Structure 1
């Protein structure tokens, strides 16, 4: 597998898969994208099953708490190859105490892969904390499959890898201006053996600190991303992870894509790289940037809770897990 993000997934001979579409958090705000996403998946030859409450609306949510909880449980009972969320937004943290984690665990053991990002981090973290089972950080229906433009080729190839059990890892290039972590013993060559990969949306993770739904991971590899958060807020959230003692227990911190913010005149040079430099000065583990994952078109799929290995050579980074599933 190539370490370049342009080649980190590859397509395979097509076979039809069962994909269950449900809405565990925010309500749909783009029904045209919803229809496009379903049509695209069907055009790929897959059987798409849509949850009966997928288009429900209750305030900003896709149905009230009971409706969305039932949708999650139906997804688990569907027997689908993939349970794919329509979108993130907000709502899953309200449901965490009521989720039937035994049902979710049984579903995963039977082969269902739960896929999503953003607010879905709450569900993924809770499943990892409660069951130790693997879920997948990846695309959602609306923004990835339902986009007005053609879906991103890398994202689609990685999703195809997941469907057909061929995913082995994700590679990417580090930024030119920085190494893999100036506080690493050797910034140009890093190898981290079998470690638990976990993380997701930074803001959601921070909200789980101190709750029973925050995974207690030692010697892990933590990846984070976010959207619409100014660099000072990103720094504040990383500081919370630092002061809570979470970062010191990890073997590496991987920063994905942080997008959708605007710098102000009074920042006077304070920017995202400032945050990276500051957090590197506070921890003794590699801080690796530019992971192609987040609220962006190009995103790899990552097994949350799986044992992975991490290697960096010069500007090439690679997370790999092989055919563990």
Structure 2
């Protein structure tokens, strides 16, 4: 089975052509693509009203395709968290469904991890990564390898100072703002001894620091084995920053937590991104500046 459903759980799709182009490209890559009946709905800034988007999520879960591919992020899943049938989504994962997306989709993935421990995938979004003028070769290749259950590990380069680090734990994470919005709610996954990866977009370094400090002060950072930072992009610097940068933010956080903070993960709101499991048992190893993250395989269709 290689069926793939495009659905819209959060923000409105700006142009139907984006979904159709993504569907065409994914079909050429070997998927049997279908577009959910509500994928192109519009209600305010959402891809349909709350009831329509909730029904779409449950409809996709019942269909249990090989890939449940979110069209885009934006905002909207937070409004649905109290109403989602987590057991239904978990059942689809057990049947082999790969739920894929990033950004606002982080809420769905961490909610499932909190309620049912199901493994999902942080990765591309259909419109953003497959619906544009071009598709990044690495993004496409890693996505295909992950969806074919062949991807076992990812490597990248980090800064000096972590040579010899070896940790094991649950890999989890996603968009920093979305993660912080779930802290203290029933949908928060209480992961201890994990490997936490983070990214964000349109957030100034001071806002990133504030979010990271919230996680630190809540005990989340110290409870992890490692923190891995992806890309933090599309923010505007201010004259009053006076040398305050993302680098100084990371340096400050490293003085506060005992947990190693690594940078360089090729993931975020950028064209070139990897696909990562959320909720899998993983191992992180550093050799010099080379980082390798590997994980256990789970259900195949």
CA drift of 1:154 comes to: 1.1
| Contact 1:179-1:314 at 8 Å conserved across structures | yes
Map of 1:257-272 to 2, 5 A cutoff?
Answer: 257-272=231-246
Q: Per-residue displacement from partner, 1:217-276 (whole Å, max 9, x unpaired)? A: 110111110000000000000000001111111011110110000111110110010111
Offset, 1:59: 0.3
Answering whether residue 178 of structure 2 is matched by residue 204 of structure 1, we say yes
Residue 217 in structure 1 maps to residue 191 in structure 2: yes
Q: What is the match of residue 188 of structure 1? A: 163
Equivalent position to 1:255, from 229, 244, 268: 229
Q: Distance in 2 between matches of 1:91 and 1:137?
A: 17
Query: Which residue of structure 1 aligns with residue 150 of structure 2?
Result: 166
Answering whether residue 140 of structure 2 is matched by residue 156 of structure 1, we say yes
Query: 5+ residue gaps in structure 1?
Result: 1-15, 181-186
Give the TM-score, by structure 2 length: 0.97
What is the aligned partner in structure 2 of residue 3 from structure 1? none
In 2: Cα distance, 1:204 partner to 1:312 partner: 28
Quote the offset at 1:322 in angstroms: 4.2
Which whole-Å CA distance do the structure 1 matches of 2:101 and 2:226 have between them? 23
Contact 1:220 1:250 survives alignment (8 Å): yes
The answer on whether the counterparts of 2:23 and 2:34 sit within 8 Å (CA) in structure 1 is: no
Counterpart among 263, 266, 274 of residue 289 in structure 1? 263
CA-to-aligned-CA distance 1:35-75 (integer Å, 9 cap, x gap): 21111011223210110000000000001000000000011
| Aligned with 1:273 (options 233, 242, 247) | 247
Contact 2:36/2:56, CA 8 A, preserved across alignment: yes
Distance 1:263 1:312 in 2: 32
**Which residue does 2:212 correspond to in 1?**
238
Q: RMSD value over aligned CA atoms?
A: 1.1
CA distance in 2, matches of 1:219, 1:230: 29
Paired residue for 1:302? 276
Q: CA deviation at 1:32?
A: 2.4
Q: Compute the displacement of 1:33 (Å).
A: 1.9
Separation of aligned partners in 2, 1:79 and 1:130:
19
> TM-score, normalization: structure 1?
0.90
The count of corresponding residues between Structure 1 and Structure 2 is 299
Look up the SS of the partner of 1:247 in the other structure.
Answer: coil
> CA deviation digits over 1:274-294, x for unaligned, max 9?
111010010111100010111
CA distance, structure 1, for counterparts of residue 180 and residue 206 of structure 2: 15
Report if the CA contact (8 A) 2:119-2:277 is conserved. yes
